[in-house]
Amino acid sequence: MNCARNSGQQDICYYDPAMDQVIRHRLNIVDELRYAVARQQFSLCYQAQKRISDKKIVGFEALLRWEHPMLGAVSPVVFIPVAEESGLIQEIGEWVLRTACHAASQWEQPYRISVNVSAEQFHHHDLPGLVRDVLETTGLSPSRLELELTETAIFTDMARATAILNELKAMGVSIAVDDYGTGHSSLGLIRDIVFDRIKLDKLFVQNALGNETDKAIIRAVIFLGRSLQTTVLAEGVETEEQFAFLADEGCDEIQGFLLSRPLPHDLLVATGKVSLIAE
Ligand code: C2E
Ligand code: MG
Ligand code: MG
């Protein structure tokens, strides 16, 4: 029944053993996720973000990694939706925020630290309260913290979203709209909410060189950002050609494999990307 409902086109679906496997796999992940924080299976990687005008690193995005003893490395694309559905995202999200802010508070350079916040975490908890507590505990300046939200996360409940975002902004925390251009209501959103940064989804960047439509979309978003005085960051920049195109078009910041892969904290320090405050 669920298969027919979800397909949108078929009225009748026949049982297939693969359906059981999908459900079993999900249940397995939920069971394992439940203990992942306590068993210290999570870690964070940090990916650099660079300003094009002066070629300076301006921040790092914290990206969650889950290494399970039996399942191996599980992608956040797989386990974040499961964590959201099961409610486990609250505990996991809090761990991410505390760990990322603590790490950044140890850096000598005052880089921005960007943390992804999922829809569930945003709408169903006292996010401003948690952020306030984490900033107090870690001593990180609010101006160094940026929260990344997707269009869909915000649009789920615009009135509530606006109130929460205003509270966070009043604390001095910045807000970025992540994966911009892939949600439903891009223009309405940036009309109603003033973001500090628009993160143009990597889909456009990666198709841009061979596709005039994607080029046009990138130009339009950069123009929009400039008109609204909002910084535009292009995600997923992998090649010099993509970088040159974005720089020519006046994009403000980039993030992607060209600059650096997401790195564990010890490697960030060992490779000299950040230095730690001396004890
Ligand atoms: P995102 O926030 O848009 O993060 C960017 C993703 O693009 C990361 O994938 C990163 O590794 C990947 N990426 C960066 N540069 C390049 C590039 O040049 N080429 C390509 N092909 N990919 C690049 P990752 O780490 O697998 O994370 C996927 C998504 O999972 C994230 O997308 C975010 O939505 C979610 N996620 C990751 N960590 C967290 C977290 O702590 N909390 C929440 N709620 N979601 C998270
Ligand atoms: Mg992100
Ligand atoms: Mg993104």
Q: pLDDT, tens digit, for every residue of 16-29?
A: 777 666 666 666 88
Measuring from atom 42 of ligand 1, which residue has the nearest CA?
Answer: 116
The alpha carbon of 52 and the centre of ligand 2 are apart by a number of angstroms equal to 19
pLDDT in the model for residue 186: 65
Q: Which residue has the tokens 């964070």?
A: 44
Helices marked H in the chain: 2-7, 17-34, 76-86, 89-105, 119-123, 127-138, 151-155, 158-170, 186-192, 202-207, 212-227, 240-249, 265-270
Q: Is 118 in the pocket of ligand 1 (CB under 6 A)?
A: yes
Instruction: Tell which atom from ligand 1 comes closest to the C-alpha of 115.
Output: 41
Integer Cα distance of 112 and 50 in angstroms: 11
State the pLDDT at residue 123. 85
pLDDT at residue number 278: 87
CA 237 to CA 130: how far, in whole Å? 32
Pairwise pLDDT comparison (222 vs 1), residue with the higher score: 222
Tell me if residue 55 falls in helix, strand or coil. Answer: coil
Q: What is the CATH number of domain 46-64+89-270?
A: 3.20.20.450
Which atom number of ligand 1 is nearest to the Cα of residue 100? 41
For residue 201, the ligand closest to its alpha carbon is 3
pLDDT band at 7 (very low <50, low <70, confident <90, very high): confident
Tens of pLDDT, residue by residue over 135-154, are 999 999 999 999 999 988 88
* Domain coordinates in residue numbering, the chain: 46-64+89-270
Ligand 1: which atom is nearest the Cα of residue 178?
3
